[in-house]
Amino acid sequence: MKGKMSFLMKGIYLILVIITIAIVSFLIINYHRELTSETEKLDLRTHALRIIDILSGSERCLGFQDEAGIEGKTLKLSHNKIIDLDKLENFSQTFSEYEPDCARDFEYRYNIRVKTLPIDLETKEWEIEEIIECREVCYQPKPDYPPICYDVCEVVGVDKSKAINVNIPSESWTFGNGVFSQDKALTGMVRISTPVIVRYNKSESMPAILWIDIADGELERFANAIDKSCLTGEEVISDLHFNYPVYKKVIDEKNYVCMEIRETTCQRLACKKEIELKEIKTPGNYKIIIKPEEIIKVII
């Protein structure tokens, strides 16, 4: 009987040990996942802030550059967070589907939106001050007395302020990558906003907000690998995982890489060369080799 009880207790003890190990393992794995996720978000934020600084501060991007005379020399001065309207409108047309050359990031993909703040100001006419006119009045009580003088003042009018009615609607511009990976294909995404000034001309500027959406995912990594090889002339070797079918599409001589998720999701490539790429139909891990020749060859 004692032997059976001892065997039973050992069995219960073994089960408790296994359960404890399983719980501890789960907590460690969960903590590692959370730590990895926070690290990825921090990296995305760091890249996003760097891109904002380049876009808003560099003359090659959106930064406004002014000229100032110092000691007889003309110097060009860049103003951080002051955006040139002409450059902004050019970017929204030229880079409507992919990132601008001056702030390209081959690790992640991003989209920029700039929106001016609306101004709605209305005041009523109101009195500022009374207009008073004064004159000196004198009289002599008796011939031998000196004249007595004093000022006589009267209100002859009222100065009024002008009514002000200013209504300036907001304007917005977007450029950069239009769509991102979704569901299992999306690794991480961060949105950051910052105040900026949009400079219209010498006398007009508007307060605005700049938003950046930056993402990391299967489609972003694949598109960046192709663009990097095409634009830099480097051979790119990368280990990529795909959860969904991936293929190339050409629309109006523009290159896209597409992924079939819930719907067809395509990202425009900056690469303008012909691309040789076979469709990836089966989910899994792939070793990708991209050779920058006359025709960009994507070997899977």
Beta-sheet strand order (sheet of 284-292): 236-242, 284-292, 296-299, 275-277
Of 258, 214, 185, nearest in space to 108 by CA: 214
C-alpha count within 13 angstroms, C-beta hemisphere, residue 174: 10
DSSP 154: E
- How many beta carbons lie within 10 A of that of residue 186, not counting itself? 17
Contact partners, residue 222, CB within 8 Å, separation at least 6: 240, 242, 246, 257, 288
Contact partners, residue 186, CB within 8 Å, separation at least 6: 180, 215, 216, 217, 218
Of 216, 276, 290, 284, nearest in space to 247 by CA: 276
Render each residue's pLDDT in the chain as its tens digit; 300 residues. 545 556 566 666 667 667 767 666 665 555 445 545 567 788 999 999 999 999 998 999 999 876 554 555 544 555 668 999 999 999 999 999 999 999 998 999 999 999 999 887 666 665 555 656 777 777 777 777 777 777 767 665 655 666 667 778 899 999 999 899 999 999 999 999 999 999 998 888 999 999 999 999 999 999 999 999 999 999 999 999 999 999 999 999 999 999 998 889 999 999 999 999 999 999 999 999 999 988 899 988
Of 226, 282, 279, nearest in space to 248 by CA: 279
- How many beta carbons lie within 10 A of that of residue 95, not counting itself? 21
Measured distance CA(74)–CA(76) in Å, rounded = 7
